[in-house]
Amino acid sequence: MTNRSSTSGALIRMRLRLARAALLWERVWPACWPALGALGGFFVLALFDILPTLPGLLHAAVLLTLGAAFIVGVGAASRRIVIPDDNAARRRIERASGLEHRPLQALSDRPSGSPDSQAAKLWQAHLRRMEAAARRLRVGVPSAGFTARDPWGLRAVLGMLLLIGAVDAGTDWRDRIAQALAPNLAGGPAAIAASLDIWVTPPEYTGLAPQFLRPGTAETIRIPTGSKLLAQVHGGQSIPRLAIDTDSRDFDAVDKQNFQAAATLTSGNQLKVIQAGTALGGWPIEIIPDNPPKVAFAKPPEGTTHAALRVDYQASDDYGIEAVKAVIWREGGNPDETWKAILDLLHSCVENAVEAVHFVTVAFLWERMR
**What's the Cα-to-Cα distance from 272 to each of 37, 231, 269, 279, 306, rounded to whole Å?**
39, 11, 10, 7, 65
CA-CA-CA-CA dihedral for 349, 355, 359, 360, to nearest 10:
30
The pLDDT value given to residue 359: 53
**Mean of the pLDDT values across residues 241-270?**
90
**What's the Cα-to-Cα distance from 35 to each of 21, 179, 256, rounded to whole Å?**
21, 22, 39
The pLDDT value given to residue 53: 81
**What's the Cα-to-Cα distance from 200 to each of 180, 243, 250, rounded to whole Å?**
31, 15, 18
Q: How many CA atoms lie within 13 A of 256 on its CB side?
A: 2
The pLDDT value given to residue 349: 40
Say which range, 42-46, 170-174, 177-181, has the weakest mean pLDDT: 170-174
- pTM, full prediction: 0.43
**What's the Cα-to-Cα distance from 18 to each of 22, 89, 136, rounded to whole Å?**
6, 8, 15
- Tell whether the model's pLDDT for residue 310 goes beyond 90: no
Residue closest to 86 by CA, chosen among 12, 10, 5, 8: 12
Residue closest to 12 by CA, chosen among 127, 125, 126, 111: 127
Most confident of 113-127, 131-145, 302-316: 302-316
Say which range, 45-54, 97-106, 219-228, has the weakest mean pLDDT: 97-106
- Tell whether the model's pLDDT for residue 357 goes beyond 60: no
Query: In degrees rounded to 5, what are phi and psi of residue 251?
Result: -70, 160
CATH topology of domain 195-288: Immunoglobulin-like (2.60.40)
